[in-house]
Amino acid sequence: MLKVGFVDGAHGHTHDLSASGAFIRGNSHVEVGDTVALELSFPGLLKCVHLEGVVRRVQTFEEDGTCGFGLEWSSAPSEVQSVLRAMGEQNPWELADAKTYRVLVADDNRVFRELVGRAVQRLQAQTGGHTRFDLVEAADGAEAWRVLQRERIDLAVLDIYMPNMDGMQLLDRIRTHHRLEYLPVVMIAPRADNLRRDMLQAGADFVVDKPLRLFDLLETITALLKYAEAREAL
């Protein structure tokens, strides 16, 4: 999954990205046959990839009003093919060996923080133990901000609703801080919440629905860390 920006200012993210096309879910409403210009951005990467494609199918998601559509690229830029090769490891959970990732989870719900902890433990097991994960917990946005200021964090998982400083306020601070502006951020929000569009526009890399599906969180964390690795390799 990658973050998508449309020329009309709308936002979304990809599913099933390939060299020939992608399925994109976001707040841009299109029709079959439309030509769509967009840019793909990679969490932590400075350069965006500008693409154009033709809409081949459309799907509306009633729970949050977003639109999904299958897009066929008018052309497949070498940049996309290079990233696909970099992400196309045989083991979908494989990350850089002998590295420790520090994951911040900010939520006032202790049970949710424990769930994220189990997710990163499972991800560590999937890598065969070669990659380690340190989980850093914060019970509200203000505590999370203090952690971000004093410690190295590789990825942040933020709940939208927290006391003292909510997830949107914390995200704004992150995106306007010179050292943290490219930090991969996953926002967690209720499935029916209408703030998904606002979170993406504010700079969230992904929005994961509550009730949380463990696989969705694992897939998102892995994808974001892989993109961060790709940036370091450029």
Q: Which CATH class is domain 99-233?
A: alpha beta
pLDDT at 158: 96
Architecture of domain 3-87: Beta Barrel (2.40)
| Distant-in-sequence contacts of 138-141, Cβ < 8 A, 24+ apart | 138/104, 138/105, 138/106, 138/107, 139/106, 139/107, 139/108, 139/110, 140/106, 140/108, 140/164, 140/165, 141/106, 141/165, 141/166, 141/167, 141/169, 141/170
Q: Could you give the C-alpha distances from 97 to 127, 134, 147, 233, in angstroms and in order?
A: 9, 15, 26, 14
Nearest CA to 24 out of 6, 50, 47, 8 is that of 6
pLDDT at 213: 75
Over residues 50-66, the pLDDT tens digits come to 778 888 888 877 655 66
Stretch(es) of the chain classified as CATH 3.40.50.2300: 99-233
User: 193: which DSSP letter?
Assistant: -
pTM for the predicted model, two decimal places: 0.64
pLDDT at 6: 65
Over residues 85-136, the pLDDT tens digits come to 555 443 444 555 557 889 999 999 998 898 888 888 887 777 666 778 889 9
Stretch(es) of the chain classified as CATH 2.40.10.220: 3-87
